[in-house]
A = this chain, B = another copy of it.
């Protein structure tokens, strides 16, 4: 991993770093099947993430992305067509790179790990700016919104088993909507990111996890 990639990456388990495929500059013998096509996609999506984080989505421009990625403009236009198509593919990549959930055997510990992962991601300067940019882009384009919904659907689905297992262990009432509990963990962190100048600290993450567990125990998320 180059220094620049290392600087961009919050930490490995964040699992939502877009376009960070290690075959952008492959070591000899490390090129995976897919080869050039995969490398071009990785370079273009990394450039898209960089541009979004730096300038927001309103400034996004396919020619600029091609320049940043050192890829021919024609390739970018032919493969992604529009800025919306590019951001949608970035979100597909982000969903694919979402890493497995934590499994501690305790609901509160699992959800605290989840909340801190979201908090670290959103409070990282590049990642926070990138998430703001894709949320903004989704408000302007239905295709981007659909891709964003799929990204969150994948992420929520990855963590829902923490709640399902807590129900099986008897930690939570039967019929608890696992996905709704996972959404409840993220919601206050995103709300703060978008509506408040207050920094997103670990205390906010722990509070979000505690609140979701308290409400779930009280049966608020029972179907």
Q: Which residue of B lies closest to A138 (CB)?
A: B194
Q: Are B149 and A195 in touch, CB under 8 angstroms? A: yes
Residues of B with C-beta under 8 A to A192 = 183, 187
Is A214 interfacial (CB 8 A cutoff)?
A: yes
Q: Are A183 and B194 in touch, CB under 8 angstroms? A: no
9 example contacts (A-B, Cβ-Cβ < 8 A) are as follows A136-B137, A136-B139, A183-B196, A186-B191, A187-B187, A187-B190, A191-B191, A211-B212, A214-B214
Report the count of interface residues on A (CB-CB < 8 A). 40
Most B CB contacts (10 A, CB to CB) among A135, A139, A197, A214 go to A139
Copy number in this complex? 2
Judged by DSSP, the binding face of A is: helix
- Which of A27-35, A72-80, A215-223 lines the interface with chain B? A215-223
Q: Chain A 127-157, CB within 8 Å of chain B: the 1/0 string?
A: 0000011011111100001101100110000
Measured between alpha carbons, how far is A183 from B215 in the docked complex, in Å? 15
A184 smallest CB distance to B (angstroms): 6
Measured between alpha carbons, how far is A180 from B210 in the docked complex, in Å? 13
Measured between alpha carbons, how far is A138 from B193 in the docked complex, in Å? 11
Residues of B with C-beta under 8 A to A138 = 194
Measured between alpha carbons, how far is A137 from B140 in the docked complex, in Å? 11
